[in-house]
Amino acid sequence: MSRLIFATLAVTALASTVGAQETTQKASTIPTPADTYQALFQAVQTRRIFADGKTFVDAVPKRPADRIMADYRAHRRFTDAELARFVRANFILPEAGATPTPSKARPPIKAHIVALWPRLTRPPVKPVAGGSALAMKRSFVVPGGRFREIYYWDSYFTMLGLKADGRDDLVESMIDNFGDLIGTYGHVPNGARTYYLSRSQPPFFFAMVGLSRATDPKTLKTRVDLMRREHAFWMEGADGLKPSQAHRRVVALAGGEVLNRYWDDRATPRDESYREDLETAAQSDRPAPDVFRDLRAGAESGWDFSSRWMANGESLSTIQTTSIVPVDLNSLMYGLEKAIAEGCARLADAACAREYGDRAAARAKAINLYLWDSAKGAFLDYQWTTAQRLDRLSAATIYPLFVGATEARQAHIVARKAWDELLAPGGLRTTTVRTGQQWDGPNGWAPLQWVAVSGLRRYGEDALAAEISKRWLSTVEREYAASGKMLEKYDIEEAKAGGGGEYPTQDGFGWTNGVTRALQESLATVRQAPSGR
């Protein structure tokens, strides 16, 4: 990319931040490092002073931001070495992260994961002015590596393992931390950083609450109210939408049905991937803010990035996330609506139970109408801007089974499709194509294995569920035996470390630990169950 184009995009992106702040809600107007440090931020990120764009945005200032910026402006020009020294003099840079040192002795993988939980657990967080960390009142578990804060959808899968290992204390504290975030900001951000506040992630809060042992009616009501508030965040602007119109995270389809899409309240480069987003926008023939918005929406999906979101199915510069009604998101929204209805019923709130039960029924009908492809035998994403289903099979096709949003007949058809096209030697495929992006082949991901196994079991497809479990656990155990590591993602075609994407494969790793322990426990339960013969 030419220096002129890069500089122009960078200046435009920073200038548009103010505009984005004026048009979005409160959570997304809280200053991010890009807003606070402006020219300094731009120089550090575009000149790649640090190899990882997340380093500077996670740094903690040693003194007030206005004084740092005054000194920066007074200096006028910096070489790269001088700029690095200036940053180190004025900020506490984050440590490398919770990456354990592999031991030569390999304890059983269960014991290894149990030993990892304390290393991945963090104490409450008190924000520092000028820094990006959000407040956390209670202890929590981080994914590991460069991911130093709590993340939304990661945490559900991590909590599965915590529960399997008897750490209900951490499960409850993490549910309450997420509840605090909803109470403070109206939604759960992507992660607990200011630069994540303008977006969320796949809404798994209802599933986290489902892991809780709490039975106190007051706690139940508080959590149901929080789920209702999260639902309102995702559905904001739905009232009054006409067919083929969209607003933020809602889309009105041809028949007036309302489904959801991924979105972000800002249309600027992501703070943590600033240079990368500028480079992607420079390769596109679309307006840069549109590309930035779609990249951010892709990050909200958790699948950052995947051929699912690409107009040509190959190149990130064609990303079109906001034009797509995704299978996984709408399945989770169904799950959220069902959970609210059930919670309200337990609280004897008949009107609420009826309202959300009706919402869930209407969503299931719309999912069946727009996302089910009987000819393909799969649930597929829908491009609402062209009124066409996208013929791109992915592991998201199993999400309706995970939440019980489909009929048994369709579930069995999806299972056959998964047997034929998604089952790999080392687990469940993410997609069936290779683009170099991390949410495509050959990578497999722990959360998708659990969603599939859980959903298949719900509909009695136990053989496929067991096969996915065994193959995935074999992949994880093989890599652990070779390197002593629990990885963020794996190559499930060759049963080795995964790759691709914007950063190196991370070690730790919260959701892999959680799903591994949950699958181990569930397989043990199946083996111990009576045969019925």
Catalytic residues: 304, 488
H and E: helices and strands count for the chain:
19, 17
Rounded-to-integer distance, Cα 516 and Cα 158, Å: 10
Residue 376 neighbours by CB distance under 10 Å? 14
Task: Tokens for 252, please give them.
Answer: 């009105």
Q: Which residues contact 428 (CB under 8 A, 6 or more apart)?
A: 395, 418, 422, 444, 448, 449, 452, 468, 472, 492
Helix, strand, coil share (%) of the chain residues, nearest 5: 55, 10, 35
Q: Which residues contact 407 (CB under 8 A, 6 or more apart)?
A: none
Q: Beta strand pairing status for 382-383 and 388-389?
A: antiparallel
Of the candidates 44, 69, 71, 72, which has an alpha carbon nearest to the alpha carbon of residue 58? 44
CB 370, CB 405: distance < 8 Å: no
Rounded-to-integer distance, Cα 16 and Cα 282, Å: 17
- Helix locations, 214-346, DSSP H: 217-235, 274-282, 288-301, 327-346
> The dihedral of CA 255, 260, 266, 269: what is its sign?
negative
Rounded-to-integer distance, Cα 366 and Cα 321, Å: 20
444 bridge partner residues? 490
Task: Tokens for 273, please give them.
Answer: 């991937």
